[in-house]
Each structure stands twice: as structure tokens, then as C-alpha cells.
Homo-oligomer: A and B are copies of this chain.
Amino acid sequence: DNPLTIIAGPCQLESLDHALMIATAMKEACDKFGAQYVFKASYDKANRTSLSGKRGLGIDEGLAIMETVRDRLGVPTLTDIHTPEQCAVAAKAVDIIQIPAFLCRQTDLLLAAGETGAVVNIKKGQFLAPWDMANVVKKVESTGNERLLLTERGASFGYNTLVADMRSLPTMMQTGYPVVMDATHSVQQPGGLGGASGGQREFAPVMARAAVSLGIASVFIETHEDPDNAPSDGPNMIHLSEMPKLIETLMAFDKLAKNDPIRL
């Protein structure tokens, strides 16, 4: 948990070169400011708002890229999985497999993920209270796997809007597992553009900073060198060139927070 881990990368994989470019830039920035780094990318966007949204490279090509990034740069990697069958396959190629928020109550997926023995990052559903993650955690723990991360990514707040409740972070910390703030998706506006989700990129650093001040283990941020032309989640990804300054800021807050932990 200490120092802060930055889980960052593009929303979806575009090519090996693109993945390496972003992972290299991020690793350099994290090394410079003393953060741990995990490369994050998706091989399949399985729940796009609209059918016309790009799905991604697919599992075979995608996982091959994830492995190459890990091997060449020596960084741990994370990707999200969508069916029980994908768990074992993905767990061979990446270090952390991630349960999407919409799927955080799907028992079979949680069990299959746990059985891989890989680290499992569970995103809290937009429909779930933070204390209800205790039940989700028990499903994975029943497999004997206690290598879990729990991620806040916003709760439904009326239509097409999410709100990130800061109480969620210390509440989930009480499970004993590391807690992650997803600064990108908690400022998403689901379906807010009609055929796609909108977002409020400018608030991602706000969410990250507030959360880090509470002593969380990790921040999840999607980043791109040209967010406005990215194939998905452009409205809420942070420009890659802004990441070093953001990491520097977050590390200062992380140091302070870890020296003075919150006790509920």
C-alpha cells in the first residue's frame, strides 16, 4: 500500500506500439516521483453504451500485447475480464485481473477470478453500497484467494450522473484489503452523450487528490496522448502530458496521508 500505486494506461488497447509508448511514459513519471506503477488496458470493451462503439483488439491480440509490455518494461499489468472462461486465460498474461463494476455481483465470475490465484481488482458496482462489498469479497475469498483490491468508481446519482462518496474509501478499507480510487470513471457521465458516455476530465485530478489524502493504496487513471480522439472514454481520460505533474502532486499528499492514517 505504501507508497501509492498508480494504475494507469489507455482505456482500450490500440496497438503494441501505443501501449509501449504510454507504459514507458507512465513508468518514467512514476519512477521519478517514487510511485509504484501498474500498466492498465482493456482488450475488449464489452459493455459500450452503443453497439457502434469500438470493442477493441480482442483477447488474443490484446493479451499478447499485455505480456509484451510486462516483459519489455518489467511493469505489472492489469486487464478486465468479462466471463468466467476469460479469467484463467487472462491470469496467465497479466498480474491483476479486474471485475467490471456492472459484473461485481456475478458469482461465477468472481469464483473463476478467485480460482486463478491472480490478484483480483473488484470495481464496486454503481448500484452497490460500500458496505455491501463485504459480501462480494467473501465470494472471492471462498476460493482461498485473498489477494484482492477494491475500487470505488462512483455510485448512481440520478440519471446519467455518478457521485463518488469519500466515505466509501475508509469503509472499504475496513475489509483489510487495499482500496483503489478510479478517478477516471467516477467522473464519467454514463450515457451522457446519447450514444456514448460523457465525462468531466477536469474533475479526475480532484477525485484523485481527495482520495489520496485519505490514505488509499492506489489511484486508477486512464490516460491518452490525444483523449479527444481516443476510441473510448475520451471525455474523462487525462492527457498523458499532464500525468507527471499530477503524480508529483499525488505523491506529496500520499506521503502526508500515510504518515497520519485515518482511523474510523
Chain A: residues with CB nearer than 8 A to chain B? 46-51, 55, 82-84, 102-103, 105-108, 125-132, 135, 138-139, 142, 155-161, 163-167, 169-170, 187, 190-191, 195, 200, 202-203, 205-207, 209-214, 249, 252-253, 256, 260, 262, 264
A-B contact pairs, 5 of them (CB 8 A): A48-B105, A102-B103, A132-B190, A167-B203, A202-B264
Whether A156 and B126, one on each chain, are in contact in the complex, defined by CB atoms closer than 8 angstroms, is: yes
Chain B residue nearest to A159 (CB atoms) is B129
Establish whether residues A51 and B139, one from each chain, have CB atoms under 8 Å apart when the complex forms: yes
Query: CB within 8 A of A157: which of B138, B163, B169?
Result: B163
* Contact of A161 (CB < 8 Å), options: B132, B158, B170: B158
Chain B positions within 8 Å of A107 at CB level = 46-48, 51, 55
| Distance (whole angstroms) from the CB of A157 to the closest CB of chain B | 4
Query: A184 CB to closest chain B CB, in angstroms?
Result: 14
Partner of A102, one of B102, B187, B262: B102
A159 proximity list for chain B (CB < 8 A): 129-130, 155, 157-158, 161
Q: Which 9 A-B pairs have the closest CB atoms?
A: A158-B158, A213-B213, A129-B159, A156-B156, A47-B105, A210-B210, A132-B191, A126-B127, A157-B158
Tell me the nearest residue of chain B to A164, going by C-beta.
B166
Looking at the assembled complex, report how far the CB atom of A129 sits from the nearest CB atom of chain B, in whole angstroms.
4
User: Residue A108 contacts which of B46, B131, B157 (CB distance < 8 angstroms)?
Assistant: B46
B residues in contact with A256, CB < 8 Å: 252-253, 256
A49-B132, A50-B139, A206-B262 provided; 20 other pairs, C-beta below 8 A? A82-B106, A83-B84, A103-B103, A127-B127, A127-B190, A128-B190, A129-B191, A155-B156, A155-B159, A156-B156, A166-B166, A167-B206, A170-B206, A202-B264, A210-B210, A210-B214, A213-B213, A213-B253, A252-B260, A253-B253
